[in-house]
Amino acid sequence: MRRVTTLAAAILAGALVLTSCGGDDAAETTPKDDTGTSAAASDIKVGLAYDIGGRGDQSFNDAAAAGLDKAAEEFGVETKEAEASNGEPESAKEERLRALASAGFNPIIAVGFAYSASVVTVAKELPDTQFAIIDDSAAVGDNIANLLFAEEQGSFLVGAAAALKSEAGNIGFVGGVDVPLIHKFEAGYKAGAEAVNPDIEVQIKYLTQPPDFSGFGDPAKGKTAAAGMFDNGADVVYQAAGGSGGGVFEAAKDAGGFAIGVDSDQYNTADPAVQDVIITSMLKKVDVAVYDFLKTVTEDNFTAGPLTYDLEKDGVGYSTSGGQIDDITDKLEEYKEQIISGEITVPTE
C-alpha cells in the first residue's frame, strides 16, 4: 500500500511539473493591454480565447496574436487573451467565454474549432456580445462570425512547388495531429503535387492521434518522422504540424533536403540555422482575418456568418522569402489563376 502510494505520488508530481513546464512559453509572454498607446483610442475591449498552446507556438496561435496586436496598435482597442488547459471539458471553454464577457470584453474571438459548441451555447446566452470563431462554420448564430480558410488551395500550390523542386519524384507530408483540419492540408498538397507529376510518390505521416495533441508541439517527433521520409528517398517535406515543424526543418538540414513551412512565412520565423532549407511556406493568414474582423467591429460593421479566406481573397498563399522558388513562381501563379477561376477544384479530403 505505502509503496504504491509513494510511487503514485512521485509519478504524478513529475507529470504535473512537466505539464507546468510545458506551459512556460505561454506564461512568459504576458498579454498586452495597450490602452491609449495609439492615436485612435477606442473603448472596445477585445477578448481572445486560444485553444491549447496559446501565444508562443510560432504558428497558428501566434498568427492570431499578431492580428490582435496589429489591431490593438491601430485601433487602440483593449485586448485580453486566455488559453485552454489540456484535456479540459466543454464546460470550461464555455466558462472562459462567459468570464471574458462578464469582464466586459466584446467582441470575443475564439481561436480554433474546439470552441465550436461552446461559442454556440454562450452566444445564445449573451445575445449582445459579438463572437468570432476561427476554423469553424458549424457554429451558427446571429452574433457569430465564422472566419474560415481554404487551406487546401494554399497547400495545392506548395504541393506543386514540392513536385517541381523534387528531383527524386518522392516527397513527404508531416501532419501534427490526425484531425480533419489537417487532412485538408494533406489533400491539397497531394493534389498539387500530382497535378505536376502524376507518378509522384507522397509519403504521409501524422505524429499523434487525438486526444493526444502533443503532435502540434513536439519537435522531436517531427524530426524523427521527417528523417524517416528523407531516408526513404524523399527530398522535399511539407509540414502542417505547428510547433513540431522545427524538427522537420532540422531533419531536412541533416539530410540535405528541403522543407516547406506552414501558416506563417517560416523562412523569417524559424531558427536561422535551418533557414536555407525552407523553400517556401503555405501562408494561412489568420492575422489578416483577425485584423479584418476587428476592423469591421470598430467600424460598427459586424457581420454574422461565414467568411472564407481563400486564394482569391489572398487569405491563403505561398511565400517567396529566400528566393529558392523564384524559378517556378510563374508556374505557381498559373495554378493559382486556374484555382481562382474555378478551372481546378482542389479536393478537401
Partner 1 sequence: MSVATAAPRVDLRRLGITIAAPTLAIVFSLLITALILISTGDPVMSTLDQVWAYGKQPRVIALTVNQATTYYLSALAVAIGFRMNLFNIGVDGQYRLAAFAAAVVGSSFELPKPLHLFVIVLVAMLVGAMWAGIAAVLKVTRGVSEVISTIMLNAIATALIAFMLREVAVEVAGSNNIGTKPIAESGALPGIPLIPESPLEVFGFIVVAALAGVAYTVVLGRTRFGFDLRATGHSESAAVASGVNVRRMVIVSMLLSGAVAGLVGMPQLLGGASRSYSLDFPAGLGFTGIAIALLGRNNALGMAFSALLFSFLDASSIILDINDISKEIVLIMQGTIVLSVVVAYELVRRYSIVAEQRRVSRQLAEEQASARPKEVST
User: Which residues are near partner 1 by CB under 8 A?
Assistant: 1-9, 11-13, 15-17, 19-20, 23-24, 27, 30-31, 33, 80, 82-83, 85-92, 95-96, 98-100, 103, 113-114, 116-117, 121, 125, 135-138, 146, 178-181, 209-212, 306
Compare residues 121 and 329 and give the one whose CB is closer to partner 1.
121
| Closer CB to partner 1, 97 or 236, in the complex | 97
Contacts (Cβ under 8 Å, ≥6 apart) of 210: 177, 178, 179
Closest separation between CB of residue 31 and partner 1, Å?
6
- Closest CB to partner 1 among residues 125, 337: 125
CB of 166 to partner 1, least distance (A): 29
Provide the residue type at 133 as one letter: I
State the amino acid at position 138 in one-letter form.
A
Give the relative orientation of helices 60-75 and 286-298 as an angle to the nearest 10 degrees. 30
Least distance (Å) between residue 271 CB and partner 1? 25
Q: What is the 3-state secondary structure (H, E, C) of 297-333?
A: HHCCCCCCEEEEECCCCCCEEECCCCCCCCCCHHHHH
Indicate the residue among 117 and 340 with the shorter CB distance to partner 1: 117
Nearest distance from C-beta of residue 51 to partner 1, angstroms: 9
Total Cβ atoms within 10 A of residue 15: 10
Complex with partner 1: residue 137 or 268, whichever CB lies closer: 137
For 198, the grid coordinates are 502524376
Provide, rounded to whole angstroms, the least separation between the CB of residue 207 and partner 1: 12
3-state secondary structure of 203: strand
Q: Give the C-alpha distances (Å, rounded to integers) separating 58 from 109, 133, 320.
A: 19, 20, 19
